[in-house]
Structures are given as C-alpha cells and as structure tokens.
Chains A and B, each alone.
Chain A
Amino acid sequence: EPEVTQTPSHQVTQMGQEVILRCVPISNHLYFYWYRQILGQKVEFLVSFYNNEISEKSEIFDDQFSVERPDGSNFTLKIRSTKLEDSAMYFCASSTGRTNEKLFFGSGTQLSVL
C-alpha cells in the first residue's frame, strides 16, 4: 500500500527557534493535512491544503504556523517561533479529496521544544 512519509521522526529544538516538518504525501493525492497529538491523547486538526492554498484551518493554526508545497512532492509545516506548548507528535496526512475517502497518515514527527 502507498505510504505517506515524514521526516524527521524526532526533532528537538530550543524555544523561539524555527522548525520545518517535512512530509511526502501519496503521489496522486490532492488534499493534504497536518494534525497534532499531545502526549498520545486527542488528535487535533491543524490545517488542510488543496490546490496550493489552505482550505481550512483550526484555531491552533495561528500566525506562527505556515504550510507550503514547495514542489510537486513535498508538503511542509513551519513553526516560526516555537513555544513549549508546541511539543507534540505532528502527523501529516493525504487523501484523494473525495469526501468519502479515508486519510492516509504518516508515522509522525515527535517535536520536543526545550
């Protein structure tokens, strides 16, 4: 089965630093997502992305966050100035875009802000 890949698997950073989390969605998918999970708890929606623009974003996705699809394969999440509370597992997902279709998730990037 095709996979969503995420790099790095772990990222440690100092508070106030910028981080970029990288994802390679499944090649024929059209919708891309970022979710996060804190301490193995609830999976929270951050943002969805389609046709090179944000489709929807949550309250969590403030001005410190941005997403980009810099080329035909990568999808990135940037946090400009990390805070302690940004520490979480960040999951990338992709789908074909049809509303009844499932999301395919990557294995996640564990971000630790010190």
Chain B
Amino acid sequence: AQSVAQPEDQVNVAEGNPLTVKCTYSVSGNPYLFWYVQYPNRGLQFLLKYITGDNLVKGSYGFEAEFNKSQTSFHLKKPSALVSDSALYFCAVRGRGSASKIIFGSGTRLSIRP
C-alpha cells in the first residue's frame, strides 16, 4: 500500500530565509510524487511533480523539490521565502501502474513571518 508522511505539522520561517517542508513516501516500485498547495478556503493547487530523470524538480512560484530514492524522500524547498508563501502544503504519491488514486500526506502549515 502506498503512503505519505509529512513529519511536521507546522514550519515557521522568516521572510527571505530558505525553507524546507519534509516528505517521505512508501510505494511499491518507482513513484510519481507531487506537491500541492492550499490557500484558505480554496482547493488544492499543483506545484510540481517528479516523474523520472533529474532528481531536482522545479515548479511554480520558485519552489523546487529533491527526490531522494535511498531515503524515500521528496522534500519541498525554496531558497528565499515570501510572506505570500504562507499556506498549507501537501505531498502526494501515486504508484506506477496505477492510473487511479493519489494519496496525500497530512499536510504542513507553512508560516512566513515578515
């Protein structure tokens, strides 16, 4: 069975500092990995995905994520945080061979202070 873990409920960062939101996964075979962001009273918006190839994936709004197969991790990063990055972030995984469900982690609330 596939699963995703986001060990931090909340991450607090000062504006301008780098940020990391952690994610680890469990799936049979090679995974498809995703990050989504949710702003208040909104649906989930796609940020980026890892399919294959380069382990460093770049996405929307200056975010990037690094796939680490040996550590089964897919941490979300940004070199310089903005106050507007404050939101709820979800990591997600889909197993290859399954065109069906994407499983989401429990979410991490990112708070950027001015």
Q: Which residues of A contact B88 (CB under 8 A)?
A: 40
Q: Give the number of residues in B that approach A within 8 Å (Cβ atoms).
A: 26
Contact size range, A:
20 to 34
Q: Does A56 contact B (CB under 8 A)?
A: yes
Measured CB to CB, the closest approach of chain B to A111, in angstroms, equals 15
Q: Which residues of A contact B106 (CB under 8 A)?
A: 41-42
Q: Which residues of A contact B36 (CB under 8 A)?
A: 105
B94 near A99 (CB under 8 angstroms)?
Answer: yes
Q: How far is the CA of A79 from the CA of B42 in the complex (A)?
A: 23
| Smallest CB gap from B42: residue in A | A107
Q: How far is the CA of A4 from the CA of B45 in the complex (A)?
A: 12
| Smallest CB gap from A110: residue in B | B41
Q: Does B103 contact A (CB under 8 A)?
A: yes
**Binary per-residue interface labels of chain B (96-107) against chain A in the complex, 1 for a CB within 8 Å, 0 otherwise:** 111111111111
Q: How far is the CA of A23 from the CA of B45 in the complex (A)?
A: 17
Contact pick for B46, options A4, A100, A103, CB 8 Å: A103
A105 near B43 (CB under 8 angstroms)?
Answer: yes
| Smallest CB gap from A43: residue in B | B104
Identify the A interface with B (CB < 8 A): 4, 31, 33, 35, 40-45, 48, 50, 55-56, 58, 91, 93, 97-100, 102-108
